[in-house]
Structure 1
Amino acid sequence: MTFRKDELIKIWNHPVTEYLKGKWFFYCLAIFILLAHFFPEFAADDGMIRGQYSIGYGAVACIFLNSGLNNKTKRLMAEIARWRAHVTVILLSFFITSSIVFGFCAAIKKSHNKNIDEWVLIGFLLMAASPTTVASNVMMTSQAGGNDLLCLCEVFIGNMLGAFVTPGVIQLFTDSPLFKYGNPANGSSVRDVYRRVLFQVGLTVFVPLATGQIIQNILPKPTQMYTDFLKRYHIKIGAYMLLLIMFNSFSTAFKQHAFTSVSHACIIFVCFFDLGLYLFFTLICFFAARCYLILLVFTKEPVKGESSWLYYYSYKIFRPFYYNKRDTVCLCYCGPAKTAALGVSLVTSQYGNEKTNLGKMLLPLVLYQAIQVLTASLFIPLFKWWLKDEIEEGQGKPVGDLEMTAMEGSAESSANCEDEIDSEKACTSHEGESFDEDQSSSTEDRSIHASK
């Protein structure tokens, strides 16, 4: 049976074929996992290509160099000043998720189930205390239409703090009588963690991002040509580099015999438990970002001189904790995510002398990263649909809830105000406009006034 050229073109452009082509990332990921299984020595840490350096540093640095070239400096600096979002992500990523996992692991330990290895439970504690992932959440947030600049800031801050917070949280949990056997207390190993993580985050996140920003401002035209080239030919550097990071993580896990040192029942349990944790944490992050209680308490915007001082200042402090939709997408990707790029280094540094059980401890983290990437990619069309109304209101640009964005010092409203309004008088001239006009227009005017 032969097909004519026009029939082949019709099949190639069919909606089913388009959908299957859109899932190319999953096919490539499956191929890389198979390669990692049969050739673990190639891309593993201390392997043939020294994966911890060539991929752990090189691939991650490419992602953030590309981000630095594609994002405006003014907007990036405005997002860095958003302390409320940083506090929310830090609490969710380091403390709330890890405390929940500790409770689950304690219950599993108490059940005395022989199919669940005790060192795998230590691996769950390590995974839960790890900082947010370095690459995948930035890529997923951008594709979903969320606030990718805020995500960049959360990645940098979270991984810098992870060098100090993660070992402390692990020490706290393993001081429990249930997990005393997994306490990594060793002064030299903790110092080594600090040194390695700070060095790695500096070289893979801060330096490439700063370099991209410098190039963008010194050579704006070549930078614009570069970004246009990527868009024109649909080149997705973040996705390609993420595949390499996953390749390195699975190669290291296979090299450490993570999948053969425990029973099949334990591996199945880890897969389903990781999936349940990721979904549960995403739900927690969503409700933390869109806490309806805040709307019930602060029903109207206060007017200075008319409202009580308690309500006025409480509104200014707590009302912005109800985030707009774009920021919510960012928080839903950053809060539950756990890094394997730095997490493996954290595990190996703290348990450098515990080579026998190293593979078991890496198992939950490596599988969690694979599950979070697959699940997060499935959330992209859902988040796009949720952001659809804001994209339409912003004439193709997802602008979020402008009033809250302005009160938070958002980059979106700050950039718009600086680009479109030449003087402060022009920016504040909206104050006297009538609020009987279209509600979305008046909300935007108030937000611009608030940002100034």
Structure 2
Amino acid sequence: MSIEKNDEDLFTLVWLGDSCGEIQFGMKKFINKFTNLNALKEYIIDKPNSSIIVIISDSIPFDGTSFVDSPQICAVYNEKLVCLYSLSEMFSTADKYLKNQQEETKKTSDQSCISKILSIARKYWFLVGLAFSICMAYIFPNLGKTGGYIRSEWTVKYGCVILVFFLSGLSLRTRQLAKEILHIRLHILIQIYSLIVIPVLVYYLTLFLSNTSMNKTLLFGMIIMASTSTTISSNVIMTKNALGNEYAALLNAILGNILGIFLSPAMILFFMKNSMFDYLSNTNNEKQKLDYGHVIKNLTLTVLLPLFIGQIIHLLWAKKIMDIREKFHFSELSSLALLTLVWSVFCTCFSTGSFKTIGTQDLIILMLIDLVIYLFFSSFIFIITRLPIPYWQFSEKDSIAIMFCSASKTLAMGISVINALYGNTNQALTGLLSLPLIMYHAEQLIIGAIQVVLLKNWIKNKLKDNTNIQSTNENEVKTDELQIINVEP
């Protein structure tokens, strides 16, 4: 007799012993588990036609004679799958069956492990893509560098930015935002905190760090990072997943990116007046002198105009655009465009040797500083919104939207601002200035994913508490009514 694929239910696997032995054994297809022999015998009394294989724990003394009077038990094995007892005609069949079960369990475990890895990769594919983009830039720097084979200063640095904001314009659900327009207090808090408070505080932090040996270009890159507007997609997704006010996040993502076109360059140029950053101003060449009007014109053409055109098309053919958006995955296309932009920036950095001027210590410190900045500003604004002050405290859902919109910074707008400031005049400089923002963007995605889980559980617990309170109040009302009825004659 041999085991075929259709014979997988030929035997019934039974575990005899404590649970620890089962874990060590690693077999998952046990139909029943018993802690003593008497319980096992009671089980098989009603199963005269069954074929049972018993795996016995080392904690139970084995006595072969105990199984002789139970013909349903075909074989008994210990935890190491050594046969202790078997009906002579069933030994070969039972042994093959157990080996098949082990292989199936191992295969299932391997598939489960691969499935988990793929699931994590799908969930954090942008971070995986970010690492891949940087690796490709390191291996093939001449392909995507400024002035390289594909002329990335035009095809990528303008093309990808325009594509990102055009797709954002096509995706904006304007009509669903009408109810959020009147939440003036929420919008003002987010925009002031994101575009004024954070830039100013980070600016003073960089002044403090300038007294150290840290690279000054990276410090100014931190200022640019802090001065950019909120993201236009990831903060909305995280707010939604955390059960926060999705439409408030979406409206402020739009508002922040429009205001950022005018405020971000103004803040950056204001901070640049500090003599510490004189070497960034290009003041030695009047033709290359930084001009606010030129920066606004550049951002209007690459950010505001594509966003506006995309929104007009969405309003005219909303239903068709919705179908196309789902079919072609606009969100993923935008992320791919961002990754291409990052790849191009790093190609230029590696080709010009920009990173050779930065020590490993500076990179580690920059990574830690970006992490602290995001954690501090996201936590601080969340605490501010929950202060129990009359007429001030925001709802739980609004607080989540405020937190994600206030502390997150957009990669697309940041690199656009850097390109608008310097264009192709200083390739090495643009790469270094982009580095703090790229690191910050990656870290805010990682930390944001953890925050989503914590905030989602917080909202669910709040809902449970409110439900319990409501249920208690209803019971009290019913009790009062019964008391009143009993008192009345």
**TM-score (normalizing by structure 2):** 0.63
Q: Deviations over 1:19-47 (max 9, x none)?
A: 75134224344333323333345566776
Tell me the residue number matched to 1:430: none
Choose the corresponding residue for 1:370, options 442, 459, 475. Answer: 442
Q: Give the Cα separation in 1 of the matches to 2:112 and 2:465.
A: 31
Number of paired residues? 358
Is 1:32 the counterpart of 2:103 in the alignment? no
Shift of 1:213: 3.9
8 A contact 1:39–1:251 mirrored in 2: no
Are the equivalent residues in 2 in contact too, given 1:197–1:346 (CA < 8 A)?
A: yes
The equivalences for 1:42-191 within 5 A come to: 48=150, 50-65=155-170, 67-68=171-172, 71=173, 73-111=174-212, 113=213, 116-183=214-281, 189-191=291-293
For 1:390 and 1:20, how far apart are their aligned partners in 2? 33
1:349 paired residue number: 420
Distance 1:4 1:247 in 2: 46
Kindly state the Cα deviation for residue 287 of structure 1 after the two structures are TM-superposed: 1.7
Partner of 1:211: 313
Q: Secondary structure at the match of 1:127?
A: helix
2:180–2:251 contact (8 Å) kept in structure 1: yes
Amino acid at match of 1:144: A
Q: Which amino acid aligns with 2:232?
A: V
Q: Kindly indicate whether residue 295 of structure 2 is the aligned counterpart of residue 193 of structure 1.
A: yes
- Alpha-carbon offset, residue 277 of structure 1: 1.0
| Inter-partner Cα distance in structure 1 for 2:450 and 2:332 | 15
Three-state SS of the structure 2 residue aligned to 1:110 is coil
Q: Cα 1:10–1:385, aligned 2, differ >3 Å: closer, same or farther? A: farther
Counterpart of 2:271, as a letter, is F
Q: CA deviation at 1:138?
A: 2.7
Which whole-Å CA distance do the structure 1 matches of 2:376 and 2:282 have between them? 28
Q: Which amino acid aligns with 1:249?
A: V
**Residues 184/190 of structure 1: CA separation in 2 closer, same or farther (3 Å cut):** farther
C-alpha distance in structure 2 between counterparts of 1:174 and 1:224, whole Å: 43
2:120 match: 22
Letter of the structure 1 residue corresponding to residue 381 of structure 2: C
CA–CA distance in 2 between the matches of 1:438 and 1:224? 47
Per-residue CA distance 1:56-106 (angstroms, 9 max, x = gap): 2224433442x33xx4x5431222332222211111111111122112111
Partner residue, 2:370: 274
Alignment gaps of 5+ in structure 1: 299-318, 396-435, 440-452
1:151 and 1:355 map into 2 onto residues whose CA distance is: 35
CA contact (8 A) 2:134 2:346 kept: no
Q: Percent identity between the aligned chains?
A: 23
Corresponding residue of 2:481 = none
| SS of match in other structure, 1:259 | helix
197-206 vs 276-285, which moves further? 197-206
Q: CA deviation at 1:333?
A: 1.6
- d(CA) in 2 for partners of 1:346 and 1:43? 20
Larger radius of gyration: 2
Q: CA deviation at 1:207?
A: 3.0
Change (3 A) 1:58 1:223: closer
Q: Distance in 2 between matches of 1:40 and 1:54?
A: 19
Q: Distance in 1 between matches of 2:346 and 2:232?
A: 19
More strand by percentage: 2
After TM superposition, give the deviation of residue 226 of structure 1 in Å.
6.6
Q: CA separation in 2, counterparts of 1:136 and 1:43?
A: 26
Of structures 1 and 2, the one with the larger relative CO (CA 8 A, separation 6+) is 1
1:245 lines up with 2:245 in the alignment: no
Amino acid corresponding to residue 338 of structure 1 in structure 2: K
Q: 2:209 corresponds to which letter in structure 1?
A: I
Q: What amino acid is the match of 2:265?
A: P
Larger mean CA deviation between 262-271 and 200-209 belongs to 200-209
Stretches of structure 2 lacking an aligned partner (at least 5 in a row)? 1-98, 468-472, 477-489
Amino acid at match of 1:197: L
Q: Cα gap change, 1:160/1:438 in structure 2, threshold over 3 Å: closer, same or farther?
A: farther
Q: Which amino acid aligns with 2:335?
A: L
TM norm structure 1? 0.68
Q: What is the CA-CA distance between 1:381 and the residue it aligns to?
A: 1.9
The one-letter amino acid paired with 2:298 is: R
Distance 1:326 1:225, change over 3 A: same
CA contact (8 A) 2:215 2:362 kept: yes
Residue aligning to 2:386: 290
